[in-house]
Amino acid sequence: SERPRQPLPHASVVLTLAYLRKPFRDLDGAYACLKFLVDALVQGGIIEDDSPEYIALEVRQVLGHAKQVLIDVVEVTGG
């Protein structure tokens, strides 16, 4: 919930799409509808780059109590 002082050079990003009911999107559609959020993380200074060498991106789809997108960004350090 805090913005880093500098964009994270390496990060794990998990985007979770919560739906009120099924069917879920196909995997390509889920990634495509969230591309703008990954771009916003770069533009907002949260992550340095959205290339695969800089982030590990995972998209999850779940049933929930509200239609929403949850964003989890964790800095990856070390080897």
Collapsing DSSP to helix, strand or coil, 72 comes out as strand
Could you report the per-residue pLDDT of 61-79, keeping only the tens digit for each? 999 999 999 999 999 997 6
pLDDT at 1: 61
Per-residue confidence (pLDDT) for residue 3, from 0 to 100:
82
Which strands make up the sheet holding 68-75, listed edge to edge? 55-63, 11-19, 68-75
pTM (2 d.p.): 0.90
Taking a C-beta distance cutoff of 8 angstroms, is the pair 69, 8 a contact?
Answer: no
* pLDDT value for 45: 95
pLDDT digits (tens, 9 = 90+) for 16-65: 999 999 999 999 999 999 999 999 999 999 999 999 999 999 999 999 99
